Structure 1
């Protein structure tokens, strides 16, 4: 395997939207920084509401976490709803939990409305118990989700093994609201939809020197001056404000398309999966019949060979019929996680917002927060936001915590292999 085989999503997303660099100074109602799920959703919904919009992406649309995502369209956060309410308080927690429960419907409705070709499969997800203890944790999570009206259900070990095709699972929590997509293709589709609604997208240019002055947001983009009445920053883990969140890395590896006979018992219902392990494993299929496995960790350092070895062993443990099948693609991305694993909206100034901290739940959450921030800019009201904005926010020791996460993932993967997985 070589790095040239790279990110599967980049290779299969289709052509990028045809955009042009700025050819002069520009004034708009709304400037959006970041061409991922959040920024593109904000640009789309603001343009549909009649605002003039420019979305500025330093690389290409979907370059960051949006194009490196697992592609699971989940409802809610990594935290169970009871923990969200405990941290935020009952009223604020209920507001966020209720908003995010609609994330998958928003995503799949946008895909249908704009005919986005992104391998969308809404067959639900399976949160798989990696052990009997993991199943007990799922029982608690299920009760909390059902308590807020989520249509989830627990399935026992025998049924979970039939639906995943793996003897390694000990039951699962099924969420029919959820599904899978090709995440970079979804980002590209959002960009095309935003452009069709009248938004302008600039790729390959960084917004520099962003400041609020003389009642306008001002910045320099590609040698030109851009001014805007409002600003939304949606760069999340790929922004420059390193003290807002801790970076966590997540890698994925994928096979080449497999023959039907080999795939017959592997996730025959098309669900996407992740497990209850502290250092979680994700596994799914794509439309072409590739098996994709992922976990916490980076692939850019000398010790990352351990992650690669673990991935091959883990895939074969889940699906012994894949023994000897090569993992032909590999990539990793960066997740922004806050200390309490809750997303934040930060007021940057008058009609200026930044949002970050999805903690690995970027598709539904980013799409939803992007729409909500566009609504706040259009209406001048913040009561439609899923969380109350902060006037300031920072975290300490973020580099040390990032190193801790990576070291912990290496240790967990090493320990799993020593135990024979």
Structure 2
């Protein structure tokens, strides 16, 4: 994990300073212990603390160390799965409820940003799902029809309109989702942490969970510096659940296929160039077999990402692919210096939906956002808080048993190698 901390990550360079935290030193007793200091865990802590519940967050590294500090920053509505497919998986009643909860997810995020004055470069002008070729057009039109049946403000755009909104060449259309937008993800996570602390939550960083024992109806959670005693435990580690190998209750990570995703950020563009690229500042991703994404930040840096890991072998291939892609999509910018690059993990599940599990008595976990961490993480954090407060019908998704995927390691390796091979070839001609 040391390499993940040293890559030059734009979000770390531009986020406001994190609130002051420290490792746990000594034993404490709380009502709820939250394991993981990302979007889900911090949302849960904030919503619990606001209701007067005594809650402590134990984060193995630092606030937003995992996906919350490596995210593209797209605040999307719903899941990657199409509405009809989601309902086919969950059934009409459960599927419709989840779609509505997650469809409103961006509103929850932006409401929290406004309520707690979180400085996170929040822009809510929608997102653009870009169509690659005729198959891509069919994809976005299918999504448009399905979401419009739920009254969602989505619209399929022509190739000409897409080019005017992106400044990019070569896309056959796009789906504009006006519910969505962009944020600086690490700044949002740090803002949630500050709000949770102000509401009375305790947050301990560099505090990995090492062991757990239940005595009566109270869990005793061991960390290097002391123990947390709590009746209820929320596990919110997602794709970073095995950060510490000895952490208990990591069985839910066995059903996650890890999809690596990297990003590069250019030097700030001139004002003239910046006006020609994403003038309304929507965040974008495409329908390509190996997905790519791009967006702008508040300092006019163009951020481009795709599937892959920036290890010593693959980094050169991915860097060359990014340079070719930027020249092809945005020929007006020429060769730009790449100032930042970083990667992270996306937790994928077999049905492309999050999974809720009771891992032990009064221990509940959520994992597997399948590339949609910001809004769903915030929504599920609030839902888990309500659940442990015993509010009726708090969970937007039914619980299921843990179902390990025995092929997950092979699939993860395939995604990494396949993306590297495709990026070696793509946009060379």
Aligned equivalent of 2:313? 302
Q: CA deviation at 1:217?
A: 1.7
Aligned equivalent of 2:108? 106
* Secondary structure of 2:52 counterpart: coil
* Secondary structure of 2:276 counterpart: coil
Range moving further from structure 2, 296-305 or 35-44:
296-305
TM-score (norm 2): 0.94
Task: Note if 1:359 corresponds to 2:364.
Answer: no
Aligned equivalent of 1:173? 175
What is the CA deviation profile of residues 240-285 of structure 1, one whole-angstrom value per residue up to 9, with x for unaligned ones? 2341211111000001111111212100011111111121110000
Matches of 1:5 and 1:409, distance apart in 2 = 20
In the alignment of these two chains, the number of paired residues is: 416
Aligned equivalent of 1:385? 395
What is the CA deviation profile of residues 204-253 of structure 1, one whole-angstrom value per residue up to 9, with x for unaligned ones? 11011024332112211233121101000100000023412111110000
Matches of 1:304 and 1:20, distance apart in 2 = 34
Aligned equivalent of 2:81? 79
Q: CA deviation at 1:30?
A: 0.3
Matches of 2:215 and 2:410, distance apart in 1 = 35
What is the CA deviation profile of residues 303-339 of structure 1, one whole-angstrom value per residue up to 9, with x for unaligned ones? 3321111111111111001221111110000011001
Q: Give the gaps of 5 or more residues in structure 2.
A: 243-249
- RMSD over aligned CA atoms reads 1.4
* Secondary structure of 1:360 counterpart: coil
Matches of 1:394 and 1:51, distance apart in 2 = 33
Q: CA deviation at 1:20?
A: 3.1
Aligned equivalent of 1:249? 260
Aligned equivalent of 2:247? none
Aligned equivalent of 2:246? none
Matches of 1:99 and 1:211, distance apart in 2 = 34
What is the CA deviation profile of residues 40-72 of structure 1, one whole-angstrom value per residue up to 9, with x for unaligned ones? 000000111111000011111011100000000
* Secondary structure of 2:314 counterpart: helix
- Shift in alpha-carbon separation, 1:398–1:128, aligned structure 2, 3 A: same
Aligned equivalent of 1:219? 221
Conservation of the 8 A alpha-carbon contact between 1:10 and 1:67: yes
Q: Give the gaps of 5 or more residues in structure 1.
A: none
Task: Note if 1:314 corresponds to 2:316.
Answer: no
Q: CA deviation at 1:125?
A: 0.5
* Secondary structure of 1:201 counterpart: strand
Range moving further from structure 2, 182-191 or 395-404:
395-404
Matches of 2:135 and 2:25, distance apart in 1 = 60
Equivalent residue for 2:356, pick from 342, 345, 348: 345
* Secondary structure of 2:255 counterpart: coil
- Shift in alpha-carbon separation, 1:384–1:264, aligned structure 2, 3 A: same
Equivalent residue for 2:421, pick from 411, 415, 419: 411
TM-score (norm 1): 0.96
Aligned equivalent of 1:376? 387
Q: CA deviation at 1:186?
A: 0.2
Matches of 1:275 and 1:222, distance apart in 2 = 44
Task: Note if 1:268 corresponds to 2:279.
Answer: yes
Matches of 2:119 and 2:266, distance apart in 1 = 22
Conservation of the 8 A alpha-carbon contact between 2:24 and 2:205: no
